[in-house]
């Protein structure tokens, strides 16, 4: 079953056509990867899919719902959560508070129940904390829950950002270069973590430059270059594709 | 077991400070100090309320407002004019001041909060100046520089708050309620949203926070509380004129928030008390006054009440003039 169906997505900035006529779809329970050289338009596609940019043309159907024109803060409630290419954690907040933010959209506490600290609010808060700790446990951050997130090593911060998105129980998770800047050991830990997510039934769309990682864990791969989709297919097929090889190696742009 | 619980409660520095302040507020009105001392105490409490209200938007949420005194002035004039001209009960004047300041808060929040921090600080600063000029020049209503005289004292159940210590009880009680409400807010979903907005607007948006709405609500509440403090001031002094609502006062309140630690309500209260009491105490030092004043500020900073990093961040927000969301991303 398709959970996301994107067709003819285009956007330009000034004169620059950053993405043109890109179509793709994501199967439920799969890992779909989006690869391409630097500046190909991958992040721009993510930004359109999560409401940060409004596409000039094209449609985005998520779980039967058209998402174009919806506000960016509404997407997570529909079940789309994302991480960012550069870590965007809340630097002055603790580890657990960061994760809790991912759950705000599911917490039914209004302004006045916050103001009066009602019993219902306290119960919801308690349940949310328990859930957050549950999420921190497998990534080994349970003991650091009350420390500032910036005190974590880089690799852990990247994983924490994913945990924050997971807290919202997303139906579809967008990861923008989760392995960027990680050392081999951290990268290994990360790919195991992503794999464990798939085992739990999450659906993931992944942007990644680490091709080894991509080819290892993806079910399906799309390749973009200069804002245009140049190839798609199973990882093994994409690797052999002429156009892909030229895009990557032909111009000496390999990562 | 119970004593153990109490002991561990008091071990926490914050809890201990709260208890000491609370105990002081209970005992102090019966201390028979001079009216001068009570006057300083009332003034400290009013500043504490102002600092707490500003802390909500500038400290917790990182939206630097440089014109907070405007809401104080609006509250003071609203209640004073209503009670003097129409003879309505003072407590209704208090409520009116709260609501009127909220309306003005909304009026300034709606157009500015979509912009980046630099525009907000400039606009709040100019807004406060506009309000002051209106108070000064709209003489038919505000009596301009002559000010408003004979503002009635509040009375509850037939008991008029004539003495400074009874007035202290009223404002301290309200301040404590506000402190509790603020602490509740900070430790809840709403407060976490505010902090998230302060730290990173873009990812807050991705996490489903309606940034604009959240900021507007915070502004709304903050302005209302400042207005209420203004009304307390008017009915305490029984005379107000525009000189009490100049921009310098906004700076004083902001420095209380900064010194007390951005987002730290208890810190705001302490800083408000210290910055109000200190100049009075130092009067006797005459020439050395500013020296001692400076030394105390340095001690406060070194005691890590003041959070330099967040102050630096706030400053860079104040100077942020990027227009579009993409630019800020
Ligand atoms: N807000 C914007 N305004 C103007 N140009 C933009 C904007 N966002 C992206 N672009 C341009 O669109 C193109 C695609 O950028 P994008 O960030 O999507 O690339 P990417 O595939 O994610 O690259 P990388 O692998 O380096 O992250 C680039 O040329 C970029 O300069
Ligand atoms: Mg990118």
Cβ atoms of residues A35 and A209 within 8 Å: yes
What single string gives the DSSP state of each residue in B81-93?
Answer: HHHHHH---HHHH
When CB atoms are compared, the residue of B181, B190, B202 closest to A88 is B202
Q: Do residue A174 and residue A255 come from a single domain? A: yes
Q: Do residue A61 and residue A8 come from a single domain? A: yes
Residues of B in contact with A101 (CB under 8 A): 192-193, 196, 204, 207, 209
**Domain total of chain A:** 2
Alpha carbon of B116 to ligand 2 centroid (Å): 24
Contact flag A101-B192 (C-beta cutoff 8 Å) = yes
Alpha-carbon radius of gyration of chain A = 19
Q: Do residue A179 and residue A252 come from a single domain? A: yes
Q: Where exactly are the structural domains of chain B?
A: 45-281, 283-329
Q: Do residue A174 and residue A250 come from a single domain? A: yes
Alpha carbon of A43 to ligand 2 centroid (Å): 4
Q: Do residue A156 and residue A180 come from a single domain? A: no
**Cα(A107)–Cα(A132) distance, integer angstroms:** 13
When CB atoms are compared, the residue of A77, A114, A164 closest to B190 is A114
Chain centroid to CA A137: how far? Answer: 21
The sheet carrying A172-176 orders its strands as A80-82, A172-176, A204-207, A31-35, A220-225, A228-233
The CATH number given to whatever domain includes residue A40 is: 3.40.50.300
pLDDT band at A254 (very low <50, low <70, confident <90, very high): very low
- Show the tokens assigned to A251: 């111009």
Instruction: Say what the ipTM of the complex is.
Output: 0.89
Domain assignment present for residue A84? The answer is no
Question: Cα B160–B164–B167 angle (5° rounding)?
Answer: 55
When CB atoms are compared, the residue of A76, A90, A115 closest to B208 is A76
Cβ atoms of residues A10 and A22 within 8 Å: yes
Domain assignment present for residue A39? The answer is yes
What single string gives the DSSP state of each residue in A207-249?
Answer: E-S-HHHHHHH-SEEEEEETTEEEEEE-HHHHHH-HHHHIIII
Q: Do residue A141 and residue A33 come from a single domain? A: no
User: Which ranges in B187-324 belong to alpha helices (H)?
Assistant: 189-199, 201-206, 211-237, 247-260, 265-281, 289-302, 308-318
For B141-162, how does the pLDDT look when each residue is reduced to its tens digit (9 = 90+)?
778 777 888 888 887 776 777 7
Q: Is the pLDDT of residue B302 over 50?
A: yes
Q: Which residue of chain A is at minimal alpha-carbon distance from B197? A: A90
Domain assignment present for residue A7? The answer is yes
Which of A167, A184, A199 delimits the end of a domain?
Answer: A167
pLDDT at B304: 59
Q: Which residues pair with A2 in a beta bridge?
A: A27
Q: Do residue A58 and residue A74 come from a single domain? A: yes
Question: How much is the average pLDDT of B261-284?
Answer: 85
Q: Is the pLDDT of residue B325 over 60?
A: no
Domain assignment present for residue A208? The answer is yes
Question: How much is the average pLDDT of A95-120?
Answer: 89
Q: Do residue A155 and residue A176 come from a single domain? A: no
A34 three-state secondary structure: strand
Q: Is the pLDDT of residue B15 over 70?
A: yes
Q: Do residue A54 and residue A135 come from a single domain? A: no
Which of A140, A167, A194 delimits the end of a domain?
Answer: A167
**Cα(B104)–Cα(B318) distance, integer angstroms:** 21
The candidate with the shortest Cα–Cα distance to B289, out of B277, B298, B278, is B278
Q: Do residue A162 and residue A177 come from a single domain? A: no
Residues of A in contact with B204 (CB under 8 A): 101
User: What's the mean pLDDT when you consider all of chain A?
Assistant: 88
Q: Do residue A119 and residue A230 come from a single domain? A: no
φ and ψ of A51, to 5 deg: 85, 5
Nearest CA, atom 14, ligand 1: A41
pLDDT band at A253 (very low <50, low <70, confident <90, very high): very low
pLDDT at B18: 84
- The whole domain housing A127 covers 89-167
φ and ψ of A35, to 5 deg: -125, 170
Contact flag A114-B184 (C-beta cutoff 8 Å) = yes
Interface of A with B (CB under 8 A): 50, 52-53, 71-77, 81-82, 84, 88-93, 97, 100-102, 104-105, 107, 109, 111, 113-117, 121, 125, 164, 168
Q: Do residue A177 and residue A251 come from a single domain? A: yes
Question: How much is the average pLDDT of A82-101?
Answer: 92
Domain assignment present for residue A177? The answer is yes
Contact flag B200-A97 (C-beta cutoff 8 Å) = no
The DSSP H or E segment spanning A19 is strand A16-27
The answer, yes or no, to whether any atom of ligand 1 lies below 6 A from the CB of A40, is: yes
Q: How far is B296 from chain A (nearest CA, A)?
A: 27
Alpha carbon of A36 to ligand 2 centroid (Å): 10
């Amino acid at each position: 079953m398709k959970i996301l169906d994107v067709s003819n997505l285009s956007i330009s900035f000034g004169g620059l056509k950053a993405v043109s006529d890109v179509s793709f779809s994501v199967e439920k329970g799969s890992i779909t990867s989006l690869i391409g050289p630097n500046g190909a338009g991958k992040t721009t596609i993510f930004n359109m899919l999560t409401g940060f940019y409004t596409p000039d043309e094209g449609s985005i159907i998520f779980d039967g719902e058209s998402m174009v024109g919806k506000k960016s803060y509404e997407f997570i409630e529909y079940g789309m959560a994302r991480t960012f290419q550069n870590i965007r954690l809340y630097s002055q907040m603790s580890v657990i508070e960061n994760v809790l933010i991912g759950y705000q959209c599911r917490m039914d506490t209004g302004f006045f129940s916050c103001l009066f600290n009602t019993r219902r609010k306290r119960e919801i808060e308690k349940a949310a904390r328990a859930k957050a700790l549950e999420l921190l446990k497998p990534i080994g951050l349970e003991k650091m829950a009350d420390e500032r997130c910036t005190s974590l090593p880089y690799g852990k911060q990247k994983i924490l950002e994913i945990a924050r998105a997971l807290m919202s129980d997303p139906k579809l998770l967008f990861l923008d270069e989760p392995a960027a800047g990680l050392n081999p050991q951290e990268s290994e830990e990360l790919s195991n973590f992503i794999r464990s997510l798939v085992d739990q039934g999450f659906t993931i769309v992944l942007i990644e430059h680490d091709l080894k990682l991509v080819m290892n864990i993806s079910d399906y791969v799309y390749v973009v270059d200069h804002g245009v989709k140049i190839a798609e297919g199973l990882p093994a097929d994409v690797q052999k594709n002429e156009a892909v090889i030229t895009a990557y190696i032909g111009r000496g742009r390999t990562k | 077991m119970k004593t153990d619980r109490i002991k561990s409660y008091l071990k926490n520095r914050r809890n201990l400070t709260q208890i000491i302040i609370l105990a002081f507020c209970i005992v102090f009105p019966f201390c028979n100090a001079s009216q001068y001392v009570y006057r300083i105490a009332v003034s400290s409490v009013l500043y504490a309320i102002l600092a707490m209200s500003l802390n909500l938007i500038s400290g917790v949420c990182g939206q630097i407002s440089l014109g907070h005194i405007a809401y104080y002035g609006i509250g003071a004039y609203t209640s004073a004019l209503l009670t003097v001209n129409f003879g309505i009960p003072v407590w209704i004047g208090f409520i009116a001041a709260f609501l009127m300041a909220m309306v003005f808060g909304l009026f300034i929040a709606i157009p500015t909060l979509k912009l980046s921090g630099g525009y907000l600080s400039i606009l709040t600063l100019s807004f406060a100046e506009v309000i002051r000029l209106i108070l000064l020049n709209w003489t038919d209503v505000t009596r301009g520089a002559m000010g408003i005289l004979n503002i009635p004292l509040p009375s509850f159940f037939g008991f008029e708050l004539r003495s400074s210590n009874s007035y202290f009880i009223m404002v301290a009680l309200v301040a404590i309620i506000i402190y509790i409400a603020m602490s509740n807010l900070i430790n809840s979903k709403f407060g976490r949203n505010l902090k998230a907005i302060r730290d990173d607007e873009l990812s807050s948006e991705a996490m489903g926070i309606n940034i604009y709405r959240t900021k507007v609500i915070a502004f709304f509440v903050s302005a209302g509380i400042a207005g209420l403090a203004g009304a307390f001031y008017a009915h305490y002094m029984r005379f107000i004129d525009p000189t009490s609502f100049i921009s310098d006062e906004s700076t004083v309140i902001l420095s209380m928030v900064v010194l007390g630690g951005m987002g730290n309500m208890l810190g705001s209260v302490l800083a408000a008390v210290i910055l109000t009491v200190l100049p009075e105490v130092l009067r006797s030092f005459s020439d050395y006054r500013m020296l001692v004043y400076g030394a105390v500020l340095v001690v406060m900073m070194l005691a890590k009440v003041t959070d330099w990093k967040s102050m630096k961040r706030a400053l860079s927000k104040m100077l942020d003039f990027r227009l579009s969301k993409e630019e800020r991303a």
